[in-house]
Structure 1
Amino acid sequence: MANNETYRSLDDLQVFQAVADTGGFRAAARALGQSPSGVSETITQLEARLGVALFNRTTRSVMLTEAGRQLATRIGPLLADTRAALDEAASSRALVRGRLRLNVPAAVMVDILPPILDRFMNRHPEVHVDLIVEDRLVDITRADCDAGIRYGEHLEQDVIAVPIGPERQQAGVAAGPSYWARRGIPTHPSQLMDHDCIRTRLAGAALFPWEFEQGAETLVLDPPARLSVTSGGAAAAIDLAIAGHGVIYIFRNWLDPHFATGSLVPALADWWPGYDGPRLYFSSRLVAPPLRALVDMLAQDRRAGDG
């Protein structure tokens, strides 16, 4: 029978949500800073109090039962709101405290997000920043995150999205001098179909197409890949392009430092496409003070840039 004893511990529900989000006791323990045995014991006690199994356990996996899925769906938003309310209570106008947990793609970790976080953490030393780096679009509430950063995906109507970093970016084509000397620099994107290409993709997803535009003309290519790598290995892919193993198509801001040194040589620059930069997205329901402080700083940055 449900009673106050059943719901006595918000911490137990936080542990349950962590296991549900990460899919395992060890991963949840790492996220929570606890021992796997402690997490397992908490779940066992919670299941005993509820009188129902929340997870099906095997030697290889931990899966939510139907009762567990229903509980996770209901309590995810409640836990996020509770944490935000506690952070707000702990903060004052003069000092922001609490946790800022962001789900971000690897692409922004190279040169976009670090300087932003540097300024933010210097401004708000009492905020603990927790970064979850992955490339799939997630439900930030279910993932116990305050906000996410993504490029151009469709977002729900109740989600707010604001620019973070450059409002516009560009993709570029490049190869090492030794490669161009050996194979020749193309004069039209279609000629890339006859080159060794270094391609990137999201984990478990198709290779990113190579898109080009010049005036009103657009072109989308699926060139042969001599090497393909997930987005987390982009730095190694650039190194291999520098070493002369093929042509790479990737963020121009990642290529510019190598153009400056001559270790990479651009090609087809008048065909490079532009696109919207990354956006910080978050629920409009309740914005915790650490996230509000980040959003306010980004707005200040944009106003300073406009000035």
Structure 2
Amino acid sequence: MNYTPSLNDLKAFACIAGWQSFRKAADELGLAPSTLSHVIRTLEENMGVRLFHRTTRSVALTEAGEKLLSRLQPVLRDLDFALEEVNHFRDRPSGMLRINTSDIAVAMLLDAVVPDFLAQYPDMSLDLVTDGRLVDIVAEGFDAGIRLGEAIPQDMIAVRFGKETRFVAIAAPSYFNNRSVPHIPDDLKFHRCIRYRLPSGKPYHWEFARHGQELHIDVPGSLTLDHPVLMVKAAMAGLGIAYVPQTVAQDALANGSLITVLDDWCPPIAGLYLYYPGHRHVPSGLRAFIDVMKASTRGNS
């Protein structure tokens, strides 16, 4: 075969294979889905093989596509390393840094880290993707992720961001006008609780600990929400007891709109960490972001 695909065509193929979606790959590449579909169709015609099985609902690699991807991934990875090494000779790093995180962590980043980073490194761009689920950052094309320390996969390198945090049980003072205050987690079964639905669709079991004893409580309640900020709002309206990160409720706690209960059952836990795969070369842009993040953490300690 005399035909040699272009690098852009091969990158487009690898991007679709990674996302298993033409639409998501098109979004990442900045192309229209129809344009990307035409690129792959032309690639397949010129190579004389079908690379993807396509249906209206799914995209999957053929055997030929799997073989090409297995050979192509290390080549593209080596190319990225080579370009990154050249980038070291620049005065400042450049390019796009993609980080997967939660909306709570993004709010913290926007307070100081993001403004400082973009000011210090004007040739860099940030793509911060908020996601309730814990994704595979390598498979989905992210440079790094930010999550609570307890949720980070063990094969990742983790860098502390911010202080320890804690989850707290909160309610409006008026909620207790005709109710007793719970003193142990089991007392929650006599209360209305504002439940939290995980991204998987399953209800979150509230986690408590004291003196080495750990409890996971499937609390009762007629209201279920999927966002801590909404849970705080519902608690302020007197709809029940919520269990949320303290940072989300701190303003309402400070002005007295909410109070905490079961404080001695809500110990501090490891805070947020930025994490990235240890087996890959660390891009200069990510190293620069980590340096800015560490400086921000020291400044707030």
TM bracket, shorter-chain basis: 0.7 to 0.9
Q: What TM-score, normalized to structure 2?
A: 0.87
Shift of 1:183: 3.1
1:93-152 Cα deviation digits (max 9, x unpaired)? 632211111122334223356532222112211101112222333333322221122222
Distance 1:199 1:76, change over 3 A: farther
Mean Cα deviation higher: 258-267 or 103-112: 103-112
> Are residues 153 and 187 of structure 1, via their aligned partners in 2, closer, same or farther at CA, if it must alter by over 3 Å?
closer
1:294 is the counterpart of 2:289: yes
TM-score scaled to structure 1, two decimals?
0.86
**Contact 2:88 2:284 (C-alpha < 8 Å) held by counterparts:** yes
5+ unaligned residues in a row in structure 2: which ranges? Answer: none
* In 2, Cα distance between equivalents of 1:77 and 1:260: 53
Q: 3-state DSSP class of the match of 2:189?
A: helix
Alignment-derived partner of residue 151 in structure 2: 153
Q: Which residue of 1 is the match for residue 251 of structure 2?
A: 257
Take 2:42 and 2:257, find their aligned partners in 1: how far apart are those partners?
59
Give the number of equivalent residue pairs.
299
Return the alpha-carbon distance in structure 2 between the equivalents of residues 51 and 281 of structure 1: 41
Is 1:242 matched up with 2:236?
Answer: yes
**Larger deviation: 38-47 or 25-34?**
25-34
| Counterpart code for 1:50 | M
Residues 171 and 272 of structure 1 are in contact (CA less than 8 Å); yes or no, is this contact kept in structure 2? yes
Secondary structure of 1:249's partner? strand
Kindly indicate whether the alpha-carbon contact (under 8 Å) linking 1:103 and 1:147 is maintained by their aligned counterparts in 2: yes
Once residues 29 and 66 of structure 1 are traced to their aligned partners in structure 2, the CA distance between those partners, rounded to angstroms, is 23
Q: Of residues 204, 208, 212 in structure 2, which corresponds to 1:208?
A: 204
Q: Which amino acid aligns with 1:184?
A: S
Query: In 2, are the aligned partners of 1:172 and 1:249 still within 8 Å (CA)?
Result: yes
Structure 1: gaps spanning 5 or more residues: none
CA distance in 1, matches of 2:175, 2:72: 55
Match of 1:61 among 58, 62, 71: 58
> Quick one: distance in 2 between partners of 1:32 and 1:302?
34
Q: Is 1:283 the equivalent of 2:262?
A: no
114, 117, 139: which one pairs with 1:117?
A: 114
Q: Percent identity?
A: 37
CA distance in 2, matches of 1:146, 1:277: 20
Counterpart-to-counterpart distance in 2, 1:303 and 1:21: 37
